[in-house]
Amino acid sequence: MNSKMLKKVFTVVCIISLVGSLAGCGKATKTTTDTEKTSSTEAKSTVEDSSSETKKEVTVTALLQQSRNYPGLQKMIDKLKADENIIVDLQIVPDDQYNNLLQMQINSGEAPDLIDYNLPAIYGLIDPETYLADLSDEAWVENLVNPSIVTHKDGKVYGFPFQASSGVSGIVYNKQVFEDNDIAIPTTEEEFNAVCDTLLAKGITPLLLPSDNWVPQIWMSIGEGLAAGSVEKAREIADALLTHKKEFTDYPELIKVVDTYLGMFDKGYFNQDYLTVSYDACLERLAKGEGAMLFGSAGILSAVEGAFPDAKVSLFNPPFDYNTNDALVSGLFSIGFCASKNSPKLDTVKRIFDLWSTPEYMNMWFEGNAGFPSFPDVDGGDMNDDVVALYNEYSAEGKIVGEMNNYLNDIQPLYKTTLWVYYLDAPSKGITGEELLATFQKDVNEYMKEKQVEGF
Amino acid sequence: MHSKSDKKRYPIYFVIPAFIFYSIFIILPFGISFIMSFTDWNIERMYIPIFRGFDNYIAIFRNSVFIRSIFNTLLFAVATTILKTLFGLLLALALVKVSRLNNILRTIYYIPCALSPMIIGVIFTSILANDGLLNNVLSTLGFSAVAVNWLASYGTAMSSVILIEGWMWSGFNMFIFIAGIQAISKDYYESADIEGAPAWAQFKSITMPLLIPSFTIIITLNITGSLKVFDLIYVLTKGGPGFDTQVLSTFVYKAFGLGLLGQSSAASIVLSALVVCISFVLNRYLTKREVEL
């Protein structure tokens, strides 16, 4: 083969590869879409064939955060399509863009029929009375295990919750590591430090921290809840902060929470690569016993157990000095959906909620996603025994308090872009708790002023 | 027979589609952004923005993160432009001769700029991780002391991003320089050879002056592109650690994320003004130095 011929062959191969790869990319998407369309059409025609006389096809739109696109929810949607001829047209949005997109759709009068959110938090993000349908008179409301979690301060229910609570929050730990090293669960801050020193001496990272700023914030949100000590006190602090009667730095207990966390860096308890390591990598280290503890909620247990079936993980209440009331934090967190007030398909949406409130549907949501269901007959899956015991113990004593973030809903858009970044940035820059909160207070003041909130 | 005025109007018809497209998607949004940057427009007051003068501009210039973003943007733009231009020129000089090996090498050096910055970012996040490829190689070679967490401090994180950007786009610049070098008449070099001019003198007195038009294109394109950097920074460092590697585009994104659309518009106007001014001045300066072939 002469060189001209070789060049031609090489050029043709390159072109074919390039076109092939580009077409491959396009085809992959198209195939998925086509498959979806085909299956959707097939499902549609099947339903139409079997029950078209009784059930007319209705499509409702829904906005969903990417991280909440659980397989269980997909099953519920498929069942709606198969049994009721209701199609839920999901618009799945990356989590960090969700708030903006939701607010933009709502403010431009193009809100979807169904809106996914952590229900207690949505009341801080948008005005429920203006934008969300009042569901207080729906039959399922009477059956809610924990109606307070979805009840707005005006006494109305604007959302349909899947969970009665997200369970307890605290320190997730590797049980095997603790057992192998004869370590008992610490009950005081002194004991906690001793445990960390023991682990450190054995070459195990005592506390894991990823670059994903969700973990340090949960540490602080739990800590501030514990430092408040009760729901009433937490609400009182939040009210004072949100009306600018007080500032963060006016509360020494809040400063202490941040300082306790920052002190752990000085003692070398955290993994050194906390500024770059991913959250998933931290979970893996926890499961493999390379790290012993991680701040978080009960949901992390199922995530670790799901990904690493051999891992023995559990959770204990943070034993820090600021927890003077010996309280336990349970996140005021309940994933669910709201209905848009001006939805032309409101009746269908209400019908969906009716159906979803039955065990037949809701059991699916908890498959592989164990938790505390919002309805009594629903199977919430296998919860970690320690977590259930902890929850029962503190709830019997009435010593459960929410995470502080839950009470400070109005400033939640600031968290991810400022406060949580400060938490990760402070240790390497030698910033103290007081300085950190003072900086955040400036952000809060500017933000609330921008929102024209009275008092700022 | 077509009249004279028809002939004059004729080329305008061809411009109209581009003009409409450009106006709707570039000029109009820019105009709206400019107006909105003087209002208290935010996500909760989408339809009732109130004029507030220069408040947004004052607010962003009082923000230390914004000032840092301007500094980082300029640093990134200048450093990457120097790197890309230098590497591009060296590659062009090395690969200008047509040969089979050079053709293959040109393709290899061009590949990075054909890849998505997001993919490059993800790849380099793994390479530069604390237990990533780079540190493993350094440790294997006995340089454990130099192995650091590359993206965890300002100096190494910013340098890494600059070097990656330089690596990505050198291949593109190489092609522009090769085209420029190939356009220079061989006669100049033959005359220089007859006069006994050494290679360095030929490069300095023939190649470089006649390459100025290529420099004009490369520097202008690179500066404007680098001033708008977003994707690489966002994927590699997310503007961190802390806010250390924030650039103007990530600042705008953050302000938009908070729903502060007025401030976000003000920041993007500053970015646009910066890009336009720098490009204009540079272009004017470099064009004046161009030599006719």
pLDDT tens-digit readout, B137-152: 999 998 888 888 898 8
| Inter-chain CB proximity A276 and B152 less than 8 Å | yes
- For B178-201, b/e burial (b = at least 16 CB within 10 A) is bebbeeeeeeeeeebeeeebeeee
Residue B267 domain-assigned? yes
Interatomic CA distance for residues B148 and A5, integer angstroms: 50
Q: In this predicted structure, what is the pLDDT of residue A39?
A: 40
- SS3 string of chain A? CCHHHHHHHHHHHHHHHHHHHHHHHHHHHHHHHHHHHHHHHHHHHHHHHHHCCCCCCEEEEEEEEHHHCCHHHHHHHHHHHHHHCEEEEEEEECHHHHHHHHHHHHHCCCCCCEEEEEHHHHHHHCCHHHHECCCCCCHHHHHCCCHHHHECCCCCECEEECEEECCEEEEEEEHHHHHHCCCCCCCCHHHHHHHHHHHHHCCCEEECCCCCCHHHHHHHHHHHHHHHCCHHHHHHHHHHHHCCCCCHHHCHHHHHHHHHHHHHHHCCCECCCCCCCCHHHHHHHHHHCCEEEEEEEHHHHHHHHHHCCCCCEEEECCCCCCCCCCCEEECCCCEEEEEECCCCCHHHHHHHHHHHCCHHHHHHHCCCCCCEECCCCCCCCCCCHHHHHHHHHHHHCCCEECCHHHHCHHHHHHHHHHHHHHHHHHHHHCCCHHHHHHHHHHHHHHHHHHCCCCCC
Total of domains in chain B = 1
**B242 in contact with A, Cβ within 8 Å:** yes
| B11 lies in some domain | no
Q: Is residue B241 a contact partner of residue B154, using CB atoms and an 8 Å limit?
A: yes
Please tell me if the domain spanning A55-166+333-373 has the same topology as the one spanning A168-330+384-450.
yes
Nearest CA in chain A to B55: A450
Q: Which two tokens stand for residue B98?
A: 């047509």
What are A132-172's pLDDT values in tens digits? 999 999 999 999 988 888 898 889 999 999 988 777 889 99
Q: Do A451 and B241 touch (CB under 8 A)?
A: no
Residue B36 belongs to some domain of the structure: no
pLDDT tier, B104 (very low <50, low <70, confident <90, very high otherwise)? very high
Instruction: Establish if B59 touches chain A: CB-CB under 8 angstroms.
Output: yes
Report residue B162 CA to chain centroid gap.
11
Is B12 part of any domain?
Answer: no
For residues A117 and A132, give the distance between their C-alpha atoms in angstroms, rounded to a whole number: 12
Phi, psi (degrees; rounded to nearest 5) at A171: -105, 115
At A175-204, the pLDDT tens digits run 999 999 999 999 999 999 999 999 999 999
Question: B123 in contact with A at a CB cutoff of 8 Å?
Answer: no
> B44 and A103: CB-CB below 8 Å?
yes
Q: What is the pLDDT of residues B158-183, one digit of tens each?
A: 999 999 999 999 999 999 999 999 99
Confidence of residue A23 (pLDDT cuts 50, 70, 90): very low
Using a pLDDT cut of 70, give the percent of chain A over it. 88
Contact by Cβ (8 Å): A340, A112: yes
Q: Considering the domain A168-330+384-450, what is its CATH architecture?
A: 3-Layer(aba) Sandwich (3.40)
Which one-letter amino acid corresponds to residue A418? T
Residue A111 confidence (pLDDT) above 50 = yes
The β-bridge partners of A60 are A88
Query: For position A300, what pLDDT does the model report?
Result: 84
Q: Is B49 on the interface with A (CB under 8 A)?
A: no
Give me the pLDDT at residue A26, please.
Answer: 38
**Neighboring chain A residues of B258 at a CB cutoff of 8 Å:** 413-414, 417, 447
How would you class B15 by CB atoms within 10 Å of its CB: exposed for 0-12, middle for 13-18, buried for 19 or more? Answer: exposed
Confidence check: pLDDT of B233 > 70: yes
Residues A85, A409: Cα–Cα separation, whole Å:
37
What range defines the domain where residue B198 resides? 63-288
Which residue in B43, B125, B256 is closest to A107 by CB distance?
A: B43
Q: Is B170 helix (H, G, I), strand (E, B) or coil?
A: helix
Residue of A nearest to B237 (CA): A276
- Compute the mean pLDDT over every residue in chain A, rounded to the nearest whole number: 84
**Partner-chain contact A100 B259, CB within 8 Å:** yes
CB-CB under 8 Å, B254 with A417: yes
Q: What is the spatial distance between Cα A314 and Cα A301, in angstroms, rounded to a whole number?
A: 7
Burial class (CB in 10 A: 0-12, 13-18, 19+), B30: middle
pLDDT recorded at residue A8 = 57
- Residue A121 pLDDT > 50: yes
Q: Provide mean pLDDT across the span A322-337.
A: 87
> Average pLDDT, stretch B22-43?
90
The CATH number for B240's domain is: 1.10.3720.10
User: How is residue B144 annotated by DSSP?
Assistant: G
Half-sphere exposure of A427 (CA within 13 A, CB side): 25
Residue to test with chain B: of A270, A450, A452, most B Cβ within 10 A: A450
- Indicate the average pLDDT of chain B: 89
Residues A405 and A332: beta-carbon distance below 8 Å: no
Q: Is B19 inside a domain boundary?
A: no
A31 pLDDT more than 70: no
Answer yes or no: are the C-beta atoms of A292 and A198 closer than 8 Å.
no
Distance from CA of B47 to the nearest CA of A (A): 9
Q: Give residue A270's identity as a one-letter amino acid code.
A: F
Fold for the domain defined by A55-166+333-373 = D-Maltodextrin-Binding Protein; domain 2 (3.40.190)
- Does residue B56 lie in a domain region? no
Across the interface, whether the CB atoms of B258 and A414 are under 8 A apart is answered yes
Residue in B43, B151, B243 nearest the CB of A276? B151
Q: In this structure, is residue B8 part of a structural domain?
A: no
Res A397: pLDDT: 83
Residues 6+ apart with CB under 8 A from B258: A413, A414, A417, A447
Dihedral angle, C-alpha A25, A29, A31, A33, nearest 10 °: -170
Extents of the domains making up chain A: 55-166+333-373, 168-330+384-450
Q: CA-nearest residue of chain A to B263?
A: A450
Cβ-Cβ contacts under 8 Å for B176 (sequence gap 6 or more):
B88, B214, B217, B218
In the sheet that A114-118 helps form, which strands lie side by side, from edge to edge? Answer: A86-93, A58-65, A114-118, A335-339, A159-161
d(CA B164, CA B152): 16
Select from B47, B129, B259 the Cβ nearest to the Cβ of A103. B259
Q: Tokens 């006719």 sit at which residue?
A: B292
**Between A17 and B47, where is the model more confident?**
B47
Chain A to chain B Cβ contacts (< 8 Å)? 74
Cβ atoms A145, A162 nearer than 8 A: no
CB A326 within 8 A of CB A184: no
Write out chain B residues lying below 8 Å of A429, CB-based: 242
A359 and A378 Cβ atoms separated by less than 8 Å: yes
Asked if A450's CB is within 8 angstroms of B149's CB, the reply is no
Mark out chain A residues that contact chain B at CB-CB < 8 A: 3, 96-97, 99-100, 103-104, 107-108, 211, 272-273, 275-277, 413-414, 416-417, 421-422, 424-425, 428-429, 446-447, 450-451
Distance CA A191, CA A203 (A): 19
Phi then psi for residue A329, to 5 deg, are: -95, 130
B241–chain A Cβ distance below 8 A for any pair: yes
Confidence class of residue A106 from pLDDT cuts 50, 70 and 90? confident
The predicted structure's pLDDT at residue A40:
41
What are the pLDDT digits (tens) for A44-57?
444 444 444 567 89
Q: Is the pLDDT of residue B202 over 50?
A: yes
pLDDT digits 0-9 by tens, B124-133: 988 998 888 9
Q: Does residue B121 fall inside a structural domain?
A: yes
Contact A277 B129 (CB under 8 A): yes
Q: Which residue of B has its CA nearest to A97?
A: B257
Encode pLDDT of A63-100 as tens digits: 999 888 888 999 999 999 999 999 999 999 877 678 87
Q: What is the pTM of this model?
A: 0.75
pLDDT-derived band of residue A450, with 50, 70 and 90 as boundaries? confident
A-chain CB neighbours of B257 within 8 Å are 96-97, 99-100, 413, 416-417
Encode pLDDT of A216-225 as tens digits.
888 888 999 9
ipTM, interface predicted TM-score of the complex:
0.74
Residue B50 has pLDDT above 50, yes or no: yes
Rounded Cα gap, residues A293 and A290, in angstroms: 10
Q: Roughly how many angstroms between the first and final C-alpha of chain A, as a whole number?
A: 80
What distances in angstroms separate CA B286 from CA A7, B209, B217, B289, one per listed residue? 39, 11, 9, 5
Are A340 and A329 within 8 A, CB to CB? no
Of A211, A277, A413, the CB nearest to B259: A413
